Amino acid sequence: MLECWVLLGGTLDSTQQNRNPLNRVVCNILGLLETKNVTKRFGGLTAVNDVSLNVEEGQIFGLIGPNGAGKTTLLNCISGVYKPEEGHIFFNGEDVTSFSADKICHTGIARTFQIVHSFPTMSVLENVMVGATFGGRKDREKPENIAEKMLDFVDFPLDYDVLAQDVNTVQLKQVELARAMATECNLLLLDEVAAGLTPGELDVISKLILRIKDSGITIIMVEHLMKLIMGVCDRIAVLSFGQKIAEGPPKEIAENEKVVEAYLGTKRKH
């Protein structure tokens, strides 16, 4: 009965696409993720205005800007939460603009949230297993093993059987990262991963981010914290009022006048 339903229902979990090596080669030239003239409006407000980015494989790409600049909105557009009114998003050379969030996940983009999202009454292991079971390919090893591996990778300090509702924020962030990586992603979107962390914890997280990069995963991170951004990013784009005002390596950005004017200027008052 169950199998029948799955058969009838077709793609209860659609298998991943666009994983053939030829595609990859093409992508390396074009960049892993490309947004072309993406515009997203809410009523009269244009949250993201004509933003084009090109993220190459293996980079850590930083996305910065003052509050309300449209960073999270752009991230939501990429991860399929919103559909942009104009423009296109290409991932691995495929147009993923109209994909739903779960389908985006299957193409290999995973994400974390600004405010941690978890499954509170499931154990930490199960939380990560969700990502491994539904995000990844079917023919891989057992989700349980993947989940354990991922938790090991993020150095989750507690018993893996502990419920998600019983752990603290930094641990939840680790769980969230593990869950995202368990989906076997090529691209990881991090939304203000450092928010609310103590300097010590920040250190743990930034080391973790570098380790994720080393494992071959491309990262786009939205961040307020300059120290973190400048420390880990290969390339940075700056948004202000929905528009991209600058893009380049961290050093260039730090010296860019427009950025200092639009962004750092306001930041100092903080």
Partner 1 sequence: MEKKGTFDISRLNGYLGKLGLKPLGFLLIILLAVIPLIITDQFWIRLLTSTLMMAALAMAFDFSAGFININNFGLAAFWGLGAYTSGLLAVNLGLSPWLGMLAGALAAAVLGFLVGLLTLRLSGIFASCMTWFVALALMALTTNWVELTRGSSGLSTPYLVDSLSNIPYYYVMLIIAIGVLILLRVITNSHIGMAFKAIGQDKQAAEASGINFVKYRIFNMTLSCALAGLVGGFYAHYTGVITPTMMHTSNTVEALAICYVGGRGSIWGAILSAFILVPAMELMKGMMEVRMIIYGVLLILVMLVYPAGLAGLCNALYKFMKDKGLFRKFGFVSKNVTGRS
Partner 2 sequence: MDPSQIADPIITGLLRGGLYALMALGLALVFGVMNIPNFAHGDFYMVGAYLAFFSFTAFGLGPILSIIVAMFGAFILGVLVEKGVFYTLRKRSKKNWVMNTFLLTLGISIVLQNSVKMLFGANYRGVTAFWPGTMQIGSINVSIDRIVGFLIAIIAIAGFWVFLSKTKVGRSIRAVSQDETGSQLVGVNLNWIHTLTFGLSCAVAALAGASLLSITPASPGMGLTPLYKSWFVCILVGMGNVGASIWGGLLLGILETFAYMQFGAGWQDAISLAVIILILLFKPSGLFAKKGVKSALE
Partner 3 sequence: MKGMSMGRLIKNRWGVLFLVLILSASLLMMGGCGSGDGDNEASDDKTVKIGVLGPFTGPAARVGEEFKASTEMAFEAVDYQIGDHEIELVWIDSESDAEKAARAYEQAIVKDKIDCGFLNWHSWVSVSCMEVAAKYKIPHFFSIGGTDIVNEKYESDPEKYFYWVGKGWPVPEKLSISYVTTLEEAIDKGIWEPRNKKVAMYGVDNDWGRGFANALRSQFEDAGWEVVSEDWVALGETEFYPMLNKLKSLDVSVIAGTMSDPPSVSSFIKQSREVGLESLIICDGLGWVGEWYDLTGEASDYVIDQIPQWATPEAQKFASEFEERYGLEPGANSGGLCYDLARFLVKVLETCDEQYGDINTENLTKIAKDEVMTGNLTLDDGVMTSVYQYTPETFPDPVVDKEHYIFPVIQYFDGEAKIVWPEEWKEQDLQIPEGM
> What are the residues binding partner 2 (CB under 8 A)?
120-121, 165
Q: Which residue's CB is nearer to partner 3, number 163 or number 260?
A: 163
Q: Do the Cβ atoms of 108 and 16 come closer than 8 Å?
A: yes
Q: Which residue's CB is nearer to partner 2, number 98 or number 165?
A: 165
Q: Which residue's CB is nearer to partner 3, number 160 or number 263?
A: 160
Q: Which stretch of DSSP H or E encloses residue 86?
A: strand 86-91
Asked whether position 79 contacts partner 1 by CB under 8 A, the answer is yes
- Minimum CB–partner distance for residue 161 and partner 3 (Å): 6
Asked whether position 125 contacts partner 3 by CB under 8 A, the answer is yes
Instruction: Give, as ranges, the residues between 107 and 136 that touch partner 1 (CB under 8 A).
Output: 110-111, 113, 117-123, 126, 129-131, 133-136
- Minimum CB–partner distance for residue 45 and partner 2 (Å): 11
231 burial level (CB within 10 Å; 0-12, 13-18, 19+)? middle
- Minimum CB–partner distance for residue 159 and partner 3 (Å): 5
Asked whether position 7 contacts partner 1 by CB under 8 A, the answer is no
Instruction: Give, as ranges, the residues between 139 and 198 that touch partner 3 (CB under 8 A).
Output: 159-161, 163, 166
Q: List the strands of the sheet with 94-95, edge to edge.
A: 45-55, 33-42, 86-91, 94-95
Asked whether position 139 contacts partner 1 by CB under 8 A, the answer is no
Q: Do the Cβ atoms of 240 and 261 come closer than 8 Å?
A: no
Greatest extent of the chain over all pairs of C-alpha atoms, in Å: 65
Of 188, 153, 174, the closest CA to residue 78 belongs to 188
Residue 113 contact, options partner 1, partner 2, partner 3, none, Cβ 5-8 Å cut-off depending on partner type: partner 1
**Contacting range for partner 1; rule: CB under 8 A; set: 18-26, 98-106, 226-234, 257-265:** 98-106
Residue 159 contact, options partner 2, partner 3, partner 1, none, Cβ 5-8 Å cut-off depending on partner type: partner 3
How far is 86 from 41, CA to CA, in rounded Å? 9
- Minimum CB–partner distance for residue 172 and partner 3 (Å): 18
Residue 160 contact, options partner 3, partner 1, partner 2, none, Cβ 5-8 Å cut-off depending on partner type: partner 3
Checking 159-165 for CB contacts under 8 A at 24+ apart, the result is: 160/123, 160/124, 160/125, 161/123, 161/124, 161/125, 162/123, 162/124, 163/120, 163/121, 163/122, 163/123, 163/124, 164/118, 164/119, 164/120, 164/121, 164/122, 164/123, 164/124, 164/127, 165/120, 165/121
Where do contacts with partner 3 occur on this chain (CB under 8 A)? 125, 159-161, 163, 166
